[in-house]
């Protein structure tokens, strides 16, 4: 099949999946395909249907949360119109391991008529920099450049395989599926109880409301009163990591900067984008701490 047009839909809480999606699209374009990466936060299901209808191949990318998809990615897929055997690739970004991270996405796509032919996992920096014992509070910056180099090589190989038709189906085997389920099943049970984990330190908060604007699922209510989390949290940790004054708490605790910086994307340039554009979006700028790794 001569591949002319590829459209990639991704969700990225803190920048890793955005970065990988861009690497894939750049390689696809270098292979003469017309390719674009679209954040699911900036497109309606109807618009997505339109892009899908005109594409030869469709891609879906997401960060792994406990060997599972983020809830907003599941909801996005659920709202797409059904298609007929559309060639599809699925990829996930993860810190350590997911077992069958790409396959689990394909299990949501298949019932809607997508035909997941390729799957890949990308090891990326950790975005869980929480004040919880045994979890790291930050990333080792000396390792990050190496991680990005390896991820870029993998993205190039994956994109080339999509163009050439070569088979890459990471995480699709039976063994991977069993291992993934070992983590996914208990995490799915625990997840509803985790939706209230985020809170706000009112004494520290400057009311810039960046968190309100950046939340991908409109979970944070601002306005005149105190900030309130509404119980829809998908645990992407964007608000926690990007709060300019670290006033967002997890289980009642703020980030301890003495233990290192939270994760603000693998490189400069990640701009969480919402379907609604806020006129004062640029008022509160965050400062990514890793730069120059394109
Ligand atoms: C709630 C949550 C659960 C996670 N679970 C896993 C996991 O099971 N395995 C893993 O390797 N990484 C896990 N991670 C790390 C992220 O998948 C990883 O850092 C990802 O690349 C973040 O992508 P993003 O920056 O595009 O949001 C988890 C992160 C969060 C916030």
Q: Which ligand 1 atom is the nearest neighbour of the CA of 19? A: 26
pLDDT band at 273; cut points 50, 70, 90: low
- Measured N-to-C along each axis, helices 16-30 and 141-164 cross at an angle, to the nearest 10 degrees, of 40
Pocket test for ligand 1, best of 19, 127, 288 (most atoms within 8 A of CB): 127
Residue 200: phi and psi, rounded to 5, are: -135, 135
Q: Which residues contact 285 (CB under 8 A, 6 or more apart)?
A: 244
Question: Does any domain span residue 241?
Answer: no
Take residue 64 and report the two structure tokens written for it: 């792994």
Instruction: Please say whether the beta carbons of 56 and 31 come within 8 A.
Output: no
**Short-list 170, 144, 141, CA closest to 155:** 170
Domain containing residue 85: CATH number: 3.40.50.360
**Short-list 170, 54, 188, CA closest to 121:** 170
Mean pLDDT of 4-26: 97
3-class DSSP state of 54: coil
Q: Which ligand 1 atom is the nearest neighbour of the CA of 194? A: 1
Q: Which ligand 1 atom is the nearest neighbour of the CA of 13? A: 27
Q: How far apart are CA 70 and CA 121, in angstroms?
A: 15
Pocket test for ligand 1, best of 9, 94, 182, 184 (most atoms within 8 A of CB): 94
Q: State the distance from the centre of ligand 1 to the C-alpha of 10, rounded, in angstroms.
A: 14
**Short-list 250, 253, 218, CA closest to 232:** 218
Render pLDDT for 88-101 as a digit per residue (tens, 0 to 9): 999 999 999 999 99
Q: Which ligand 1 atom is the nearest neighbour of the CA of 122? A: 21
Sign of the alpha-carbon torsion through 192, 180, 252, 14: negative
CA angle 247–252–254, rounded 5-degree value: 35
Residues with CB under 6 A from ligand 1: 12-17, 63-67, 93-98, 124, 126-128, 183, 235-237
Q: State the distance from the centre of ligand 1 to the C-alpha of 114, rounded, in angstroms.
A: 25
Q: Which ligand 1 atom is the nearest neighbour of the CA of 97? A: 11
Question: Does any domain span residue 250?
Answer: no
Q: State the distance from the centre of ligand 1 to the C-alpha of 94, rounded, in angstroms.
A: 5
Is the pLDDT reported for residue 21 higher than 70? yes
Question: Does any domain span residue 268?
Answer: no
Question: Does any domain span residue 27?
Answer: yes
Is the pLDDT reported for residue 268 higher than 80? yes
The helix (H) or strand (E) run that includes residue 87 is: strand 86-94
Domain that holds residue 80: 5-180
pLDDT band at 274; cut points 50, 70, 90: low
Mean pLDDT of 273-291: 39
Q: State the distance from the centre of ligand 1 to the C-alpha of 13, rounded, in angstroms.
A: 9
pLDDT of residue 225: 82
Render pLDDT for 129-153 as a digit per residue (tens, 0 to 9): 999 999 999 999 899 999 999 999 9
Q: State the distance from the centre of ligand 1 to the C-alpha of 70, rounded, in angstroms.
A: 10
Take residue 221 and report the two structure tokens written for it: 């209510």
Take residue 169 and report the two structure tokens written for it: 């189906």
Half-sphere exposure (Cβ direction) of 158: Cα atoms closer than 13 Å: 29
Distance of CA 117 to the CA centre of its chain: 21
Q: State the distance from the centre of ligand 1 to the C-alpha of 105, rounded, in angstroms.
A: 15
Q: How far apart are CA 110 and CA 217, in angstroms?
A: 25
- The pTM of the full predicted model, rounded to 2 decimals, is 0.93
First-last CA distance in the chain: 31
Question: Does any domain span residue 125?
Answer: yes
Q: Which regions of 95-182 does DSSP assign to beta strands (E)?
A: 114-123
Instruction: Please say whether the beta carbons of 263 and 241 come within 8 A.
Output: yes
Mean pLDDT of 161-168: 96
Q: How far apart are CA 7 and CA 58, in angstroms?
A: 5
Question: Does any domain span residue 96?
Answer: yes
Mean pLDDT of 96-118: 98
Q: How many domains does the chain have?
A: 1
Pocket test for ligand 1, best of 9, 41, 63, 132 (most atoms within 8 A of CB): 63
Question: Does any domain span residue 71?
Answer: yes
- Which residues, in sequence order, are bridge partners of residue 93? 63, 122
Calculate the alpha carbon distances from 227 to 211, 218, 267 in Å. 9, 12, 29
Q: Which ligand 1 atom is the nearest neighbour of the CA of 66? A: 8
pLDDT band at 289; cut points 50, 70, 90: very low
Question: Does any domain span residue 57?
Answer: yes
Render pLDDT for 187-229 as a digit per residue (tens, 0 to 9): 999 999 999 999 999 999 999 999 999 999 999 999 888 899 9
């Amino acid at each position: 099949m001569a591949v002319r047009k590829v459209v990639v839909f991704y969700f990225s809480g803190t920048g890793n999946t955005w970065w990988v999606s861009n690497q894939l699209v750049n390689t696809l374009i270098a292979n003469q395909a017309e390719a674009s990466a679209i954040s699911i936060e900036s497109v309606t299901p109807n618009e997505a249907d339109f892009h899908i209808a005109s594409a030869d191949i469709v891609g879906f990318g997401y960060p792994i949360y406990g060997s599972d998809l983020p809830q907003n990615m599941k909801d996005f897929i659920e709202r797409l119109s059904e298609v007929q055997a559309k060639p599809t690739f699925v990829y996930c970004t993860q810190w350590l391991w997911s077992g069958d991270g790409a396959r689990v996405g394909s299990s949501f796509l298949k019932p809607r008529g997508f035909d997941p032919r390729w799957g890949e996992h990308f090891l990326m920096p950790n975005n869980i920099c929480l004040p919880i014992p045994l979890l790291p509070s930050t990333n080792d910056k000396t390792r990050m450049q190496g991680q990005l180099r390896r991820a870029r090589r993998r993205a190039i190989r994956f994109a080339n395989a999509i163009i050439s038709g070569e088979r890459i189906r990471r995480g699709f085997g039976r063994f991977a599926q069993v291992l993934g389920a070992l983590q996914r099943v208990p995490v799915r049970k625990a997840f509803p109880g985790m939706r209230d984990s985020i809170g706000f330190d009112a004494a520290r908060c400057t009311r810039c409301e960046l968190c309100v604007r950046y939340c991908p699922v409109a979970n944070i209510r601002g306005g005149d009163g105190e900030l309130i989390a509404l119980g829809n949290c998908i645990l992407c940790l964007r608000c926690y990591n990007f709060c300019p004054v670290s006033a967002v708490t997890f289980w009642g605790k703020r980030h301890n900067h003495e233990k290192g910086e939270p994760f603000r994307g693998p490189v400069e340039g990640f701009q969480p984008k919402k379907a609604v554009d806020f006129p004062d979006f640029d008022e509160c700028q965050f400062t990514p701490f890793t730069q120059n790794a394109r």
